[in-house]
Amino acid sequence: MKVVIDSNIYISAFLFDRVPEEVVDLGIAGRFKVYSSIYIIGEVRRVLCEKLGTSDRFAILAAKRIERISTVIPVRGNIRGPVPSDPKDGPIIKTCLACRADFLVTGDRRLAALEVRGMRTLGPSRFLRHVATAGLIT
């Protein structure tokens, strides 16, 4: 199972919320294959430092953690699929398309509303319920 975890889920996992942390932990445990891109990693670093005021060291360590648990893929070209209303969401969709993701885990309602052929977009709680139903966690 190929999964792209959106930057907002990583940020919540690293700072705030147990449910997104569980999603990331399952990726670390190898319950599914995690894919990311330089864009997602950069967005996590930028938001942690600029918007949330964490130290640069914390943001760098968070980025390195994402790099360790995921396959970082190049994302180029135009979107061949649904075009998101927010231009900052385009690289997320490109990441999903480039790796042929089965799932995008996001807390972004605009992204969740997009339909990408062959991929389901779920919030972290619904994704955890899905993997539990699929027998990937007990």
CATH number for the domain harbouring residue 16: 3.40.50.1010
Query: Which tokens is 20 given?
Result: 């997104």
DSSP symbol at 82: P
pLDDT score at 78: 63
Decide if 106 is inside a domain: yes
Decide if 138 is inside a domain: no
Name the residue among 134, 138, 97 with its Cα closest to residue 119: 97
Decide if 31 is inside a domain: yes
Query: Chain centroid to CA 68: how far?
Result: 14
**Per-residue pLDDT tens digits for 10-34:** 999 999 879 999 999 999 999 999 9
pLDDT score at 81: 57
Give pTM, 2 decimals.
0.90
The parent domain of residue 31 ranges over 2-133
Decide if 46 is inside a domain: yes
Confidence tier at 76 by pLDDT (50, 70, 90): confident
Strand partners, 36: 72
**Per-residue pLDDT tens digits for 82-130:** 556 667 778 898 899 899 999 999 998 888 777 777 899 999 999 999 9
Q: What is the mean pLDDT of residues 23-48?
A: 95
Confidence tier at 41 by pLDDT (50, 70, 90): very high
**How many distinct structural domains can be found in the chain?**
1
pLDDT score at 83: 57
